[in-house]
Structures are given as C-alpha cells and as structure tokens.
Amino acid sequence: MHELADLGEKAGAGLEGAELQMRIRQLEASEARALLIVRALTCFYTAVAGFVASTLATLIGAALASTQMGGGVFASFAIASAAGATGVFTIITGSLMLARETTLSFRILKEERSFIGERVRGRVKTA
C-alpha cells in the first residue's frame, strides 16, 4: 500500500493518466484487501475462542455428570453447543472473507498485466 501511495503522490513525475487511475484503483483495492484480512483474522480468533469455550464447557458438563450433579449438565452442554456453533460459523465466515480477498488480489494482478501488455504492444508498434 505504501508503494502504491508513493506512486500516486508522484503523479507529476511522469505517470500517465491511465496509469495513475490504475494505481488509484490498486490502492483502493489494497485497502479493501487489508480490511478483509483483518476481519478474517478476527473471525479465526473468535473461532478459536469458541472452540476453547466449547471444550471447557463440555469438560465441566462431564465433571458435573460424573459427580451426579445433574442440574448444571444441561446448561453446560447447551453452552458448549452454542460456543462450538459460533466457532464453526466464524471459521466459515473468515474463509469466505479470505476467498474474497484472493479474488480482489487476482483482479488487481490481471488488470496490471493487461495494462503492461497494452503498453508493451504500443511501444512495439511505434518501434
């Protein structure tokens, strides 16, 4: 992102209008990608916490069941189920965010390859 921002600021240093527009789009896409990655990581951290909480609640429920204190067993297993479901949901959500980030990254690379290809073809024609 820093490199793209530096290129955008040096617009007067020889960047053509089309290239400047491409660099601005790349900068905006980089920002979106960074946000997706941060959100995906947050989902993954939440998933880990959910799985840990699920395991802990299950262990507490098992301990209560083995001591024949049935009052908290149902609540413990309900908490474990909810925490486990949260873990699964957030893993899926984080994975979808990373898939979207990969798509954005590929689009940026494809656009730049196309731009460079056109520039090279233009230079070959004039040579």
Q: What's the pTM value of the predicted model, to 2 decimals? A: 0.74
Confidence bin at 21 (pLDDT 50/70/90): confident
Span 56-85, pLDDT tens digits: 999 999 998 888 877 788 999 999 999 999
Counting other chains too, the contacts that 87-91 makes at CB distance below 8 Å and 24 or more residues apart are: 87/46, 87/47, 87/48, 87/49, 87/50, 87/51, 87/54, 88/47, 88/50, 90/43, 90/44, 90/46, 90/47, 90/50, 91/43, 91/44, 91/47
Q: Average model confidence (pLDDT) for the chain?
A: 86
In the chain, domain spans: 37-126
* pLDDT recorded at residue 12: 47
